[in-house]
Amino acid sequence: MPDIPLDFREKHLTTDQNDELWSCRPFVVGEIGFLRPLCLIDTTAPFSIVSHSVAKHVKWTPLGSRAKIDGKSVSLDWQGVPCQLGETEIYLLEQPKGTKRLGPFILTGKLAQAPHAAFENHVILGMNFLADNNIGLTIYGRSSPGLLVGWLSLPG
């Protein structure tokens, strides 16, 4: 089973009480059509999200604009942005070279129908992406360099 290393983007900050803190998020590079968006691996997202700037260039199969949850019809918006539910294919690129292209993988998620104030030119890979494609996620802490290390374990 091939692995794709995660690229952890760290941000360091200092609070108003001079406490040093850090945050980090795991990313991989994807390929959808001719685009190569940065993809955030988000274990708190039940569904994947494709930002408007990426979604408008994606060939996808529409799956609906509303859903029923516990028998109640709900819209599929994301942080106030209207979305359509759809399915497309995505490849993952092995970094840092980006020469090894793995996939295609099924990407089922919300495709933003309007720009988001802080989230454009990216894709969020939610938990359904890992489950739909039988992809393993491993993350663990270490002292240095970098605070976290991890990878996606791909099938095959």
pLDDT confidence of residue 67 = 87
Phi and psi (nearest 5°) for 3? -115, 145
Chain segment 50-101, per-residue pLDDT in tens: 999 999 999 999 999 888 889 998 888 999 999 999 999 999 998 766 678 8
pLDDT tens per residue across span 94-139: 876 667 889 999 999 999 999 999 999 999 999 999 999 999 999 9
pLDDT band for position 10 (50/70/90)? confident
Instruction: Return the pLDDT at 152.
Output: 97
| pLDDT at residue 144 is higher than 80 | no
Could you give the domains of the chain?
3-8+26-153 (2.40.70.10)
pLDDT of residue 94: 85
Residues 1 and 102: their CA atoms lie apart, in Å, by 11
Position 98 scores a pLDDT of 62
CA dihedral sign of residues 5, 125, 26, 116: positive
Dihedral in degrees, nearest 10, Cα atoms 87, 91, 92, 98: -150
Assess whether pLDDT exceeds 80 at residue 155.
yes
Task: Decide the pairing of beta strands 38-41 and 122-125.
Answer: parallel
| Cβ–Cβ < 8 Å for 24, 9 | yes
